[in-house]
Amino acid sequence: MEDTQRGTGERDTPGLLRELAEYGVMVRSRRGRLSVDAPPDAPRQLLDRLTAAGRPVLDTIAAHSGLPGPAVPAAGTRPAGSPFPTTDLQSAYQVGESDFPELATAAYVAHGFEVPDLDPVRWRDALRAVLTRHEMLRAAVGPDGLQRVVPLDDDWGPVRVDWTHLDAADARAAFPGERRTAAALLPGLADGPQLGCAVYSARGTTLVLLCLRLFVLDARSIGLICRDLADAYAGRAFAGPAAPPGYFARYAEALAAHRDSQAYRNAVAHWQRRIPTLPGPPALPVLSRPARARFARVRHRLPAPVWDRLRERARGAGLSANTVLCAAYAEVLRRWSGRRSFTLTVLVATRAMLAADPAGTDAHRTRAWATSAARCCWSATARLTPSPSAPGPCSGG
């Protein structure tokens, strides 16, 4: 009976540690002994169970400490083509696109180009080469919520639009309207690929509309895609090797496994204790719900002299231009809301979370396709002030 009870306790240890984290209890192993940091209102019954568990708790922490961060396993450790989980940010995109039909909105980036002498066959071949090279562009989400990399159909190619009734000037004038509805070029999230393209052939010119779904892309990946498309169309060799097959799947699985680590659970505990002290969201004007939602970007271009002066002033204050822009964004929200303090949610790149390999770095960290981004709370009181950093939910995917 004693052995049976001990075995049950060992199996329940991860669950106990997760439950403690929800109450803000941080548990660490220090020199072979438990170190417990518990808030005053932590349930005594849970703390007593932790004390009674003893050795299994230390073994659980040692088995998956989560430090220094998620580690992508070596290739060949998973069957090719098998499903894999979505990252936190991908899950958010999926909800926004499928769970509320009347407000379903695809998040995407649309690029427009004018290429008067475009070779349509060479452009189709370039698109197919990039889709083949970067397998995450061919991801599709199944009804089980898992994603898979699907084959590229033999007949896939850009949509050809006949605008020969328009001259070059009229085509340029009509093109912005096509960009506003670029999401229509994207196949369903469950189908793939996560890229759509249309070629508009007018008299005297050709316009190209490229639509990239953010479900499989981050800012760095978009740059890589455009670079590879330019290289493929020009007939140049790609600038660098692609990530190995299955790399992103192993990355997503590493992030999912990291959620079972003690570093992640301690991060949950940290933020559970912080939540009561955080101010609420900015009180922005409430509009009636639209009959139909759409994804749009608002752009404003600063003249080069203004941008140069802004960067110079930022450097003089020891800040990056991005930090200044983020602070300006918070200041605008502060004026709209009328609140001096509020909490914002921003995206944080997670490429640097990957644990280094024995050679000192993950060779594919900067080429990990569609690196997950996470959300991090910031508090602003007249100026933007970052919350103390913590691993896991705050800084991890």
What is the pLDDT at residue 102?
Answer: 67
User: In this structure, are residues 396 and 261 in contact, taking their beta carbons and an 8 Å threshold?
Assistant: no
Q: Which residue has the higher pLDDT, 290 or 34?
A: 34
| Mean of pLDDT over the chain | 82
**Residue from 391, 114, 112 nearest 267 by CA:** 391
What is the pLDDT at residue 386?
Answer: 39
Burial (Cβ within 10 Å: 0-12, 13-18, ≥19) of residue 285: exposed
Burial (Cβ within 10 Å: 0-12, 13-18, ≥19) of residue 108: buried
Give the whole-angstrom CA distance, residue 116 versus residue 169. 12
Which string of DSSP letters, residue by residue, matches 330-390?
A: HHHHHHHH--SEEEEEEEEE-GGGSPP-TTSS-TTGGG-TT--EEEEEEEEESEEEEPPP-
Of the candidate CATH numbers 3.10.450.50, 3.30.559.30, 3.40.50.200, 3.40.50.150, the domain formed by 249-284+293-386 belongs to: 3.30.559.30
Percentage of the chain beyond pLDDT 70 is: 82
- Does 88-244 carry CATH code 3.30.559.10? yes
306-341 pLDDT tens trace: 999 999 999 999 999 888 988 888 888 888 888 888
Cα distances from 82 to residues 149, 242, 243, 395, in angstroms, run: 8, 20, 18, 28
What is the pLDDT at residue 334?
Answer: 86
50-84 pLDDT tens trace: 999 989 999 999 998 887 777 787 777 677 778 99
pLDDT of 366 strictly over 50: no
pTM: 0.77
Number of H helices, E strands in the chain: 11, 11
Tokens of residue 221, six digits = 């990946």
Which string of DSSP letters, residue by residue, matches 34-101?
A: EEEE--TTS-HHHHHHHHHH-HHHHHHHHHT---S---PPPTTSS-TT--BPPPHHHHHHHHHHHTSG
Q: Which fold has domain 2-63?
A: Arc Repressor Mutant, subunit A (1.10.10)
Same CATH fold, 249-284+293-386 and 88-244?
A: yes
- Kindly give the interhelix angle for 321-337 and 304-316, rounded to the nearest 10 degrees: 100
Secondary structure class of 122 (helix, strand, coil): helix
208-233 pLDDT tens trace: 999 999 999 888 889 999 999 999 99
Using 50, 70 and 90 to split pLDDT, how confident is the model at 359?
very low
User: In this structure, are residues 216 and 149 in contact, taking their beta carbons and an 8 Å threshold?
Assistant: no
All structural domains of the chain with their residue ranges: 2-63, 88-244, 249-284+293-386
The residue behind tokens 């680590």 is 261
User: In this structure, are residues 102 and 292 in contact, taking their beta carbons and an 8 Å threshold?
Assistant: yes
Please compute the mean of the pLDDT values over residues 116-130 and round it to a whole number: 97
Using 50, 70 and 90 to split pLDDT, how confident is the model at 348?
low
Cα distances from 201 to residues 117, 155, 157, 181, 233, in angstroms, run: 10, 20, 15, 18, 18
